[in-house]
């Protein structure tokens, strides 16, 4: 798992799995597995799956030709609401992109370290 800065200000975590590393062959299979992990955690609430690829096609947006599929699984760690500002950084999502020979899985760094660790563990568990 790499930590990166996207567009010089967004801190993200990202991992690229070769297709041979995973038992999953589609983005939907990965989403299904992530949803199982989210549903098994009593603190995390699944919200939705968003098809970023289809949305971009429908609005006639630009898609890098190397990208075959792109979806986000959206969820929330809602253990507390200490200030109104916390809602600005919720909910969370994990993005899954299919390339020719790999899947890229990433998420935006959360202000809560426990949430980052949980998301990193969920993503890394895909390889088990």
- 64-102 residue pLDDT tens: 999 999 999 999 997 889 999 999 999 999 999 999 999
Cis peptide before 79 (omega within 30 of 0): no
Beta bridge partners of 103: 17, 98
**What confidence score (pLDDT) does residue 128 get?**
64
Instruction: Dump the DSSP string for 35-73.
Output: HHHHHT-TTEEEEEEEEHHHHHHHTT----TT--EEEEE
Using DSSP's 3-state secondary structure scheme, residue 98 falls into: strand
pLDDT averaged over the chain?
95
Counting the structural domains of the chain, the total is: 1
Domain with 105 in it: 2-127
Residues 5 and 12: their CA atoms lie apart, in Å, by 6
């Amino acid at each position: 798992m790499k930590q990166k800065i996207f567009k010089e200000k967004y801190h993200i975590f990202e991992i690229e799995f070769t297709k041979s590393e995973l038992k999953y062959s589609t983005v939907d299979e990965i989403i299904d597995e992530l949803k199982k992990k989210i549903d098994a955690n009593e603190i995390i609430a699944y919200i939705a799956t968003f098809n970023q690829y289809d949305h971009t096609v429908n609005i006639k947006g630009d898609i890098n030709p190397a990208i075959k599929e792109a979806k986000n699984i959206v969820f929330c760690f809602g253990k507390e609401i200490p200030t109104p500002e916390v809602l600005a950084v919720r909910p969370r999502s994990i993005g899954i992109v299919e390339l020719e020979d790999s899947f890229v899985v990433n998420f935006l760094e959360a202000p809560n370290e426990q949430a980052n660790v949980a998301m990193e563990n969920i993503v890394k568990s895909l390889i088990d």
